[in-house]
Amino acid sequence: MEDEKLETLLDEKFSEMKLWVADQISGQISGVNTRMDAGFRRVGVELEQLNHSMQQNNELIHAVDEKLESFRAETKYDFKTTRGLIGTSNAGLLERIGELAKTRS
């Protein structure tokens, strides 16, 4: 009879412990899930911000490329104009030198 009472008491205590352990594990899992959900939301927000920053950088790079191409075209034109002016000036100087050389001889 004593053994049966002891066995029943132990069964009750083990059942209580099982429930307690199950509740503790469930609570910890819920906490982990909550923290993971918050972490995933934070990562999602950070990825959106990173994507936005990358789009802004791409737009800025495109704008710089356009300005650089414009500068190149303008500089090319300026060099052609300068070469033309130098060529005209040199032609005039050569003509004068030629005239001076004729008058001295």
Which tens digits make up the pLDDT trace of 62-73?
Answer: 999 999 999 999
For residue 105, the SS3 value is coil
Q: Could you tell me the pLDDT band of residue 1, with boundaries at 50, 70 and 90?
A: low
Task: Answer yes or no: pTM beyond 0.75.
Answer: no
d(CA 28, CA 44): 24
Q: Could you tell me the pLDDT band of residue 13, with boundaries at 50, 70 and 90?
A: confident
Residue ranges of alpha helices (H) inside the chain are 2-104
Q: What 8-state DSSP symbol labels residue 1?
A: -
Compute the C-alpha angle 45/46/51, nearest 5°. Answer: 100
More confident residue, 12 or 64: 64
d(CA 92, CA 84): 12
Question: What is the model's pLDDT at position 7?
Answer: 84
